[in-house]
Amino acid sequence: MINHGTAGKGGDTVAASVTELRLKFPGEGSFIFKDLSLSIQKGERVLLLGPSGCGKSTLLQILGGLIPHVIEVPLKADEIIVPASRGYVFQDPDTQFCMPYVDEELAFVLENRGIEREHMVRQMREVLDAVGLHPDELHVPVDSLSQGMKQRLALASVLLLEPEVIFLDEPSALLDPDGRKQMWEAVWHAAEGRTLVVVEHRLEEIADRMDRIILFSPDGSIIGDGSPEWIFRTFRRELAQYGIWYPGVWENFIRLMEIRQAEAENSASRSGLTPLLALKKYTGFRANRPVIYVEAAEVYPGDFIAVTGPNGAGKSSLLLSLMCLLRFSGQYVLCGEGIPETAGASRKRRKKVCPPSDRIGYVFQNPEFQFVAETVQEEIGFSLKNPGMTSLNQVDETSRRFIRSFHLEGLEQRHPYQLSMGQKRRLSIAAAVVCGQPILLLDEPTFGQDARNTFAILDYCLEMQAKGAAIVMVTHEEGIVRHAATRVWEVLDGVVNERPDAGLHEERRVGT
Q: What is the chain's mean pLDDT, rounded?
A: 88
What pLDDT is recorded for position 5? Answer: 53
Confidence of residue 269 (pLDDT cuts 50, 70, 90): low
What pLDDT is recorded for position 259? Answer: 62
Phi, psi of 96 (to 5 degrees): -115, -5
Q: How many residues does the chain have?
A: 512
CB 135 within 8 A of CB 150: no
Asked whether the predicted pLDDT for residue 208 surpasses 60, the reply is yes
Find which of 22-26, 52-56, 106-110 is predicted with most confidence, using mean pLDDT: 106-110
Asked whether the predicted pLDDT for residue 507 surpasses 70, the reply is no
What pLDDT is recorded for position 346? Answer: 78
- 426-444 mean pLDDT: 94
Half-sphere exposure of 371 (CA within 13 A, CB side): 20
Q: Which of 26, 52, 174 is nearest to 457 (CA)?
A: 52
Asked whether the predicted pLDDT for residue 470 surpasses 90, the reply is yes
pLDDT tens readout for residues 182-206: 999 999 999 999 999 999 988 888 9
pLDDT tens readout for residues 372-417: 999 999 999 998 876 555 577 888 999 999 999 999 999 999 999 9
Confidence of residue 30 (pLDDT cuts 50, 70, 90): confident
pLDDT tens readout for residues 336-378: 999 999 988 777 777 778 888 889 999 999 899 999 999 999 9
CA 51 – CA 442 distance, rounded (Å): 22
* Domains of the chain and CATH, by start: 2-242 (3.40.50.300)
- Count other Cβ atoms within 10 Å, centred on residue 32: 20
What pLDDT is recorded for position 10? Answer: 45
Asked whether the predicted pLDDT for residue 511 surpasses 50, the reply is no
Query: Percentage of the chain surpassing pLDDT 90?
Result: 65
What pLDDT is recorded for position 226? Answer: 97
Strands 289-299 and 439-443 turn out to be: unpaired
Note the pTM of the prediction, 2 decimals: 0.82
Q: Is 332 helix (H, G, I), strand (E, B) or coil?
A: strand
CB 473 within 8 A of CB 480: yes
- 471-498 mean pLDDT: 94
pLDDT tens readout for residues 222-248: 999 999 999 999 999 999 888 888 777
Confidence of residue 263 (pLDDT cuts 50, 70, 90): low
Confidence of residue 271 (pLDDT cuts 50, 70, 90): very low
What pLDDT is recorded for position 243? Answer: 85
- 310-321 mean pLDDT: 95
Concatenating the DSSP letter of every residue in 176-231 gives -HHHHHHHHHHHHHHTTTSEEEEE-S--TTTGGG-SEEEEE-TTS-EEEEE-HHHH
> Greater confidence, 270 or 163?
163
Concatenating the DSSP letter of every residue in 133-166 gives ---SSS--BGGGS-HHHHHHHHHHHHHHH--SEE
Return all residues near 110 (Cβ < 8 A) that are at least 6 apart.
120, 123, 124, 160
> Greater confidence, 17 or 175?
17
Asked whether the predicted pLDDT for residue 36 surpasses 70, the reply is yes
| Cβ burial, residue 299 (10 Å; 0-12/13-18/19+) | buried
Asked whether the predicted pLDDT for residue 508 surpasses 50, the reply is no
